Amino acid sequence: MKILLFDNSGMNSSGNDFLVETKTGNFAKELRNLGNEITFFGQKLPPFDNTVHVFGIKQNGMKVDGLKRRKNKVLNYFLLYLKVIPAVLKTDFVYIFYPTSFKYVAILSKLFGKKYGLYIRGMQGLNDRVSRWIYKNAYTIFTVSDYFTQFVNSIVGKNIANTIRPMIPFDEKDIVTNREYKEKDIYNILFLGRLDKEKGLEELLKAAYILKKQKKNFILTIVGDGEFMGKAKEIVNNLEIENLVKFTGAIYNSSEIKECYQNSDIYILPTYHEGFPRTLYEAMIFGLPIITTFVGGIPALMKDDFNCKEIRPKSVESIVDVLTFAMNNYPKMGELAKNGMKTVAKIIDSKRLTHAQQLNLTIKQ
């Protein structure tokens, strides 16, 4: 089957190839290995150093279609939509990572008699009129959270949406059960994810400065890469907290990612908006106490004072208060982490089909 895939981010050029995010690439590669022909469609972006796009599309046996990004945004998308018409006509199935600026491809697919599916992993524009029409006319929908699944099914009036098994390289065999939660002299706090402003990094760094002035003993490790990296390092220098904040850059090897969690005492995610982040699954798997905002699909699984501690979005004060509580009451945080391990166990069951397996089975029916 020919599948036309629309990721909700561009493709960075690299020699004769184009790069996407690793988990997206591995999902597409698994679809290809299941007997499908995969073509990525989107904006062709120039090379960029601070990016999580490291998976080569062509070198992994898949195709690329689209146009180079232009400065004029209106012209850019007009030309992209002209270009997409023959691509849709030549394919068997259209799969769209949602929300996206390519949302109207779903309408084109319907006009041309092509079945399309959605992978919902974000909350922006989720409830507008166009999105509702798109849900109702989709062939299948997968989501990252039961929150989105229930939301879409309530709109459509039938069970068209299903929650995927998390796209992470770990399962129930990786759950840590022997972690100890004793009070420590220095707490290792971990942020792992894409580095952009909307992940709440500015507030987190300002909170670290306040905690330093309050004589709290901790090290903040920031794992990841992205456009906010330069600004984040500038904030660190201006606040003179270089001795407390460590930037590692992006890490892709699963054993190294596992080591990051195992060497940390607290995981924090002060994000402004989210679908359901994979890092929360991973933190629960490795028994790490979690501090997170409750945005998007997060509160469907995470419960304050049960398997995590809640912080308010865009609030430095909230981060300071909850991190202070966590460091002053670490055995209590350990109880929440143990509940997190129980929460995640059923979700990552290796007997469940992967995202690619579910989609392949659905469209071949």
Whether the per-residue pLDDT at 226 is higher than 80: the answer is yes
Measure the N-to-C terminal CA separation of the chain; round to a whole number of Å: 12
Whether the per-residue pLDDT at 54 is higher than 80: the answer is yes
Task: Cite the DSSP H helix spans in 214-253.
Answer: 229-239
pTM for the complete prediction? 0.86
Which residue, among 144, 153, 166, has the nearest Cα to 273 in the 3D structure?
A: 144
Binned at pLDDT 50, 70 and 90, residue 51 comes out as low
Whether the per-residue pLDDT at 50 is higher than 80: the answer is no
Binned at pLDDT 50, 70 and 90, residue 365 comes out as confident
Is residue 22 helix, strand or coil? helix
Give the model's pLDDT for residue 49. Answer: 65
User: pLDDT tens, 185-208?
Assistant: 999 999 999 899 999 999 999 999
Query: From CA 210, how far away is CA 208, in angstroms rounded?
Result: 5
Q: Which domains does the chain have, with CATH numbers?
A: 2-165+351-364 (3.40.50.2000), 172-345 (3.40.50.2000)
User: pLDDT tens, 83-104?
Assistant: 999 999 999 999 999 988 899 9
Binned at pLDDT 50, 70 and 90, residue 233 comes out as very high
Give the model's pLDDT for residue 137. Answer: 97
Q: What is the pLDDT averaged over residues 319-348? A: 96
Name the range with the highest mean pLDDT among 8-17, 69-78, 354-363.
354-363
Give the chain's count of helices (H) and strands (E).
Answer: 12, 16
Query: From CA 260, how far away is CA 281, in angstroms rounded?
Result: 14
Question: Which H/E stretch holds residue 177?
Answer: none
Instruction: Calculate what percentage of the chain has a pLDDT beyond 70.
Output: 99
User: pLDDT tens, 261-318?
Assistant: 999 999 999 999 888 899 999 999 999 999 999 998 899 899 999 999 999 999 999 9
Q: What is the pLDDT averaged over residues 242-268? A: 95
Query: From CA 250, how far away is CA 180, in angstroms rounded?
Result: 28
Binned at pLDDT 50, 70 and 90, residue 330 comes out as very high
Q: What is the pLDDT averaged over residues 131-151? A: 94
Rg (C-alpha) for the chain, rounded Å, is: 21
Query: From CA 209, how far away is CA 221, in angstroms rounded?
Result: 14
Q: What is the mean pLDDT of the chain?
A: 94
Q: What is the pLDDT averaged over residues 102-111? A: 96
User: pLDDT tens, 155-182?
Assistant: 999 999 999 999 898 999 999 989 999 9
Whether the per-residue pLDDT at 219 is higher than 90: the answer is yes
Instruction: Calculate what percentage of the chain has a pLDDT beyond 90.
Output: 81
